[in-house]
Structure 1
Amino acid sequence: MDTTGTLDEALQRLHTSGPERLGRLTNHAPMAVEALAANGQAAAVHRWLDLYASRLEEFPAGVEPVTDADWRSALGDPRRAADWIAYFGRELAEHPWREVLALWWPRLLPGMYGGSTHPVIRVGHAVRTLLADDGTGPRLTELAHGLGYWAARHHPVTGLVPVSGAGSAAAALDAVEPVAERAGGFPDRLGQVRSVPVWAATVTDPAEARRRLTELVRAATHRYATHGHGNETMLVHAATAPNAVLRTLPALPEALWVPSLQAAWTASAAVTAMYAPDAPVAYVPPGPVTPEEVMERALAHGDEHVVKLTDTAMDFGDERSLAAALRAVELSEPLR
Structure 2
Amino acid sequence: MDTTGTLDEALQRLHGSGPERLGRLTNHAPMAVEALAAHGQARAVHRWLDLYAHKLEEFPSAVEPVTEGNWRSALGDPRRAADWIGYFGREIAGQPWQEVLTQWWPRLLPGIHGGSTHPVIRVGHAVRTLLAGESTGPRLAELAHGLGYWAARHHPVTDPTPLPGAGSAAAALDAVAPIAVRDGGFPARLDRVTGLPVWAAGITDPDEARDRLTELVRAATHRYATHGHGEETMLVHAATAPNAVLRTLPALPRALWVPSLRAAWTASAAVTAMYAPDEAVSYAAPGTPTPEEVFERALAHGDEHVIKLTDTALDVGDAPALAAALRAIELSEPLS
Indicate the TM-score class for this superposition, using the shorter chain for normalisation.
over 0.9
| Whole-angstrom distance in 2 between the partners of 1:46 and 1:249 | 30
2:289 maps to: 289
Contact kept, 8 Å, 1:286 with 1:319, in 2: the verdict is no
Shift of 1:135: 2.3
Partner amino acid, structure 2, of 1:38: A
Shift of 1:134: 4.0
Query: Deviations for 1:67-91, whole angstroms, at most 9, x for unmatched residues?
Result: 0011000000000000000000000
1:149 maps to: 149
The 1:286–1:249 alpha-carbon spacing in structure 2 relative to 1, beyond 3 Å, is: farther
Q: 1:32-181 maps to which residues of 2 (within 5 A)? A: 32-181=32-181
1:316 maps to: 316
For the pair 1:298 / 2:276, whether they are aligned, the reply is: no
Structure 2-normalised TM-score?
0.99
Shift of 1:150: 0.1
Shift of 1:286: 4.1
Question: Does the residue aligned with 1:158 lie in a helix, a strand or coil?
Answer: coil
RMSD between aligned residues: 0.6
Shift of 1:212: 0.1
| Whole-angstrom distance in 2 between the partners of 1:316 and 1:152 | 31
Partner amino acid, structure 2, of 1:293: E
| Whole-angstrom distance in 1 between the partners of 2:120 and 2:317 | 23
Contact kept, 8 Å, 2:114 with 2:150, in 1: the verdict is yes
Partner amino acid, structure 1, of 2:282: A
Structure 1, 13-22 or 157-166: larger mean CA deviation = 157-166
Shift of 1:159: 3.4
Structure 1, 229-238 or 156-165: larger mean CA deviation = 156-165
Partner amino acid, structure 2, of 1:261: L
What are structure 2's unaligned runs of at least 5 residues? none
| Whole-angstrom distance in 2 between the partners of 1:287 and 1:33 | 27
Contact kept, 8 Å, 1:294 with 1:322, in 2: the verdict is yes
Contact kept, 8 Å, 1:294 with 1:310, in 2: the verdict is yes
| Whole-angstrom distance in 2 between the partners of 1:49 and 1:159 | 39
| Whole-angstrom distance in 2 between the partners of 1:173 and 1:14 | 36
Shift of 1:285: 3.2
Divergent runs of 4+, >6 A = none
1:197 maps to: 197
Percent of residue pairs identical: 82
Question: Does the residue aligned with 2:58 lie in a helix, a strand or coil?
Answer: coil
| Whole-angstrom distance in 1 between the partners of 2:216 and 2:288 | 26
| Whole-angstrom distance in 2 between the partners of 1:45 and 1:228 | 27
| Whole-angstrom distance in 2 between the partners of 1:93 and 1:288 | 46
Q: Between Structure 1 and Structure 2, how many residues are aligned?
A: 336
Question: Does the residue aligned with 1:280 lie in a helix, a strand or coil?
Answer: coil
Question: Does the residue aligned with 1:120 lie in a helix, a strand or coil?
Answer: helix
Contact kept, 8 Å, 1:222 with 1:324, in 2: the verdict is yes
Contact kept, 8 Å, 2:217 with 2:316, in 1: the verdict is no
| Whole-angstrom distance in 2 between the partners of 1:100 and 1:133 | 18
